[in-house]
A = this chain, B = another copy of it.
Amino acid sequence: MFEQLFKSINERVALTEEEKELCKTFYTFRRLRKRQFLLQEGDVCKYNAFVEKGLLRSYTVDDKGNEHIIQFAAEGWWISDLYSFLTGVTSVYNIEALEDCELLLLTKSASDELLARLPKFESYQRILLQGAYIAMQRRIHASLNQTAEEKYLNIIDIYPDIIQRVPQHMVASYLGLTPETLSRVRKQLILPK
């Protein structure tokens, strides 16, 4: 039930058995069926969620009704609307299970207390955020400067697993392309040669 989490933590900081036990007490376990929501637009994001099993997405819906996917999260990833979670302001994001999920949830108060009680958790979070920040910077660079084809090749390269598990139009949404454009890009990539 905590395998993925301690794997994730262990890759970054070393916890004693005692610390692991302490750590466990702050989480609540939750199952989510495919299509269920962890967060809906207009609600406050109550949880920072760690994915033990399954796959989720966070997305917004614009005024024309189009969905824009911000993030996917599979096993070993965290997902939340960090801004809403930290400030208590209502969220503009939705977080939805794309597969049946097993999650470990941290409320804001649990998170604060864990940070206070376990300095290594603070390190863990900082290191996670560093990685997330670096990944984000790359994604921005890609989204600003790459063609549709380059973006697609790029995501295949970085998240080959995600593309396998997600409908194509969601990959398109994540890349900021229309489903039609992605379909044509793929066609071009297969035919030539």
Contact = CB atoms under 8 A, between A and B. Distances in A.
A188 interface: no
Q: How large is the interface on A (under 10, 10 to 19, 20 to 34, 35 or more residues)?
A: 20 to 34
**A143, A144, A175 — most chain B CB neighbours (10 Å):** A144
The copy count of this chain in the complex is 2
A176 B125 contact: no
Contact of A130 (B86, B140, B144): B86
B70 A137 contact: yes
Contacts of A176: 143-145
Contacts of A139: 140
A10 interface: no
A134 B81 CA distance: 9
A68 B144 contact: yes
Interface in A101-119: 115, 119
A14 to B, nearest CB: 14
A148 to B, nearest CB: 12
Task: Identify which of A82, A119, A129 gathers the most chain B CB atoms within 10 Å of its CB.
Answer: A129
Interface of A: 60, 62, 68, 70-71, 82-83, 86, 115, 119, 122-123, 125-126, 129-130, 132-134, 136-137, 139-141, 143-145, 175-176
24 contacts: A62-B145, A68-B141, A68-B144, A68-B145, A70-B137, A70-B141, A71-B137, A82-B133, A82-B134, A86-B130, A115-B123, A119-B119, A119-B122, A125-B126, A126-B126, A126-B129, A133-B133, A136-B140, A139-B140, A140-B140, A143-B143, A143-B144, A144-B175, A144-B176
